[in-house]
Structure 1
């Protein structure tokens, strides 16, 4: 009896493993796309779409760099860039008039950058931040680098 229970558990584990293999998204071509590779699925989370086809709320993370996202006019864009004391993110800068800064409403950990914006006008706005690639040396003669990690997201308000 013990042998069949072990075999059943192994079979169930194999089925679950194989079921997960087909669930990866954003890494291939779409049928009928003539070989065009689809971009990876964004890590930005979004609420249900508003009447313009754009979500009312968009949440951004560091992995969303380089993306263009859409938010409904009157909606919100919130972001958190997780950093460290030795590699802190600079405050997020917004260029344009489509977004208005609002209170992010949460505590910022040392090194993190957080921001929240209300989509107040139709248009496009760029959000940017940066941080050092390497931590500063803690002692004289320590190894360091002058590299910068850039973060940029374009927000379209409709």
Structure 2
């Protein structure tokens, strides 16, 4: 019967040392690559963050600048504009009258049915014109002038039935009275009238200019 002898070879010390050194070098190489990758990734990320922060700061400054800007000099809302520069208006004038003297008397005045009971003042040579709106059922009578200082003038032609149109010129200083009237109620065919009268009167004072 043969004997089989198993022989185990022990590695050489030099080979073991070389293998250990190679493994350590590989580990160091891997560690260095990992550090380089981390640094590479960290670089662009940090740069992007800083760029975004700078852009946001610039945008905030640009949007905040117009709100704090001062208004242009000379504009209506600016501090440099004089008081009341944007609110100037023409003084009101009397409707239907033309001022002629410091006393308040005028050279021309126009009257309507709503002016009944008024007192107006004209200067000598001035004129007064009346246009009283009436209806066919309630017409105005012709306007009469009392006092002897108003002379009749051309007032035009009455277009609508029931209206009263008249004009006078002031010929001398004094006081005159204008008057007209019309039925208070409309009278229909076959109906009883109320017999009421609506009167219209205006006092006219005339002075020298």
For the aligned pair, the TM-score class normalised by the smaller chain equals 0.5 to 0.7
SS in 2 for 1:109: coil
Q: Determine the C-alpha separation between the residues in 2 that align with 1:120 and 1:72.
A: 9
2:145 is matched with 94
Aligned residues: 114
More deviation, 74-83/143-152: 143-152
Q: CA offset at residue 72 of structure 1?
A: 1.1
- Is the 8 Å Cα contact of residues 73 and 157 (structure 1) preserved in structure 2? yes
2:129 is matched with 78
What TM-score, normalized to structure 2? 0.51
Q: CA offset at residue 147 of structure 1?
A: 0.5
Select the structure that is richer in helix: 2
Q: Determine the C-alpha separation between the residues in 2 that align with 1:113 and 1:98.
A: 21
What TM-score, normalized to structure 1? 0.67
| Aligned-pair Cα RMSD in Å | 1.8
Q: 2:194 aligns with which of 140, 145, 152?
A: 145
More deviation, 64-73/104-113: 104-113
Q: Determine the C-alpha separation between the residues in 2 that align with 1:108 and 1:73.
A: 30
